[in-house]
A and B are shown apart, each in its own frame.
Chain A
Amino acid sequence: MRLTSTSFEGRRRRTGLVLVAPALLVLLGVLAYPIAASLLLGFQDATIAGGGVTSEWIGLANYERMLSDPTFGTALRNSLYFTFVEVLAVIAISLAVALLLNHPSGRGGFFVVVLLVPWALAPVANAVLWKWIYNANYGILNAILLQLGLIDQKVIWLGDPFLALNMMLIADAWKAIPFIALLLLAGLQNVPSYLYRAARVDGAGSWARFRHVTLPGLRIPILVAVVLQSIWALKVFDLVFVLTKGGPMDGTVVLNFLAWRVTFAFLDLGYGAAIANVLFVIMFVLALIYVRALDPERRRRRAGNA
Chain B
Amino acid sequence: MTPRLRRRLGTWGVRFALLVFLVLALGPIVWGIVTSLLPTTALTQTPPDLSLAGLSLDNYADVLVTRGNLPDALIDSAIVATLTATLSLVIGSAAAYALARLRVPGSNKILLAVLATQMFPGIVIAIPLFIVFSQLRLVDTYLALSMTYLSFTLVVVIWILKGFFESIPPQLERAAAVDGASTFQTFRMVVLPISLPALFAAGVFDLLRNAGISSVWDRTRVVVVIDHLVPAPSAAAAEVHHRIRGHVRDFGIAHFLDAGSGICHQLVAEQGLARPGELLLGTDSHTTTAGALGVGGTGIGTSEMAYVLATGELWFQVPPAILVELTGRLAGGVMWKDAILALAGRLGADGAQYRALEFGGPAVSDADLAGRLSMSNMAVELGAKFGLFPADDATLSYLSHRGVDAEPFGPDPDAKYERIVEMRLETLDPQVALPHSVDNVKPVGDVEDIPIDQAFIGSCTNGRLEDLRIAGQILAGRHVHPHTRLLIAAASREIEQQAAREGLLEMLLAAGAMILPTGCGPCFGGHQGLLAAGERCIGAHNRNFVGRMGSPQAEIFLASPATVAASALYGRITDPRRVIEPAAAGVTP
Contact = CB atoms under 8 A, between A and B. Distances in A.
Interface of A: 1-2, 6-9, 11-13, 15-20, 22-24, 26-27, 29-35, 37-38, 41, 53, 96-97, 100, 103, 105-106, 111, 114-115, 117-118, 121, 129-130, 132-133, 137-138, 140, 143, 146-147, 174, 178, 231, 235, 237, 255-256, 259-260, 263, 269, 272-273, 276, 279-280, 283-284, 286-287, 291, 300, 304
A153 B94 CA distance: 60
Contacts of B127: 34, 37-38, 41, 263, 269, 272-273
A95 B440 CA distance: 49
A53 B346 CA distance: 61
Contact of B351 (A6, A96, A105): A6
B125 A34 contact: yes
Contacts of A17: 98, 104-105
A111 B177 CA distance: 44
Nearest to B124: A276
B98 A174 contact: no
B25 A31 contact: no
Residue from B25, B99, B349 with most neighbouring chain A CB atoms (10 Å):
B25
Given A1-B440, A269-B127, A291 B115 contact: yes
Contacts of B104: 13, 16-17, 20
Nearest to A117: B29
Nearest to B22: A114
Nearest to B96: A23
Interface string B100-123: 011111010010101111111111
A237 B151 contact: no
B17 to A, nearest CB: 5
B110 A53 contact: no
Contacts of B15: 105
Nearest to A178: B25
A31 B31 CA distance: 39
A21 to B, nearest CB: 8
Contacts of B128: 33-34, 37-38, 41
Contact of A100 (B17, B147, B440): B17
Contacts of B107: 16, 20
Contact of A279 (B87, B121, B147, B436): B121
Contacts of A103: 14
Interface string B1-36: 000000000010011011001101110110110010
Contact of A118 (B29, B122, B158, B439): B29
A100 B95 contact: no
B121 A280 contact: yes
Contact of B151 (A13, A30, A138, A273): A30
B28 A260 contact: no
B154 A20 contact: no
27 contacts: A7-B437, A12-B101, A16-B99, A16-B107, A19-B97, A20-B107, A23-B91, A23-B154, A26-B147, A27-B154, A33-B128, A37-B128, A41-B128, A100-B17, A100-B18, A105-B18, A117-B29, A138-B44, A138-B45, A138-B46, A235-B122, A263-B123, A269-B127, A276-B120, A279-B121, A280-B120, A287-B116
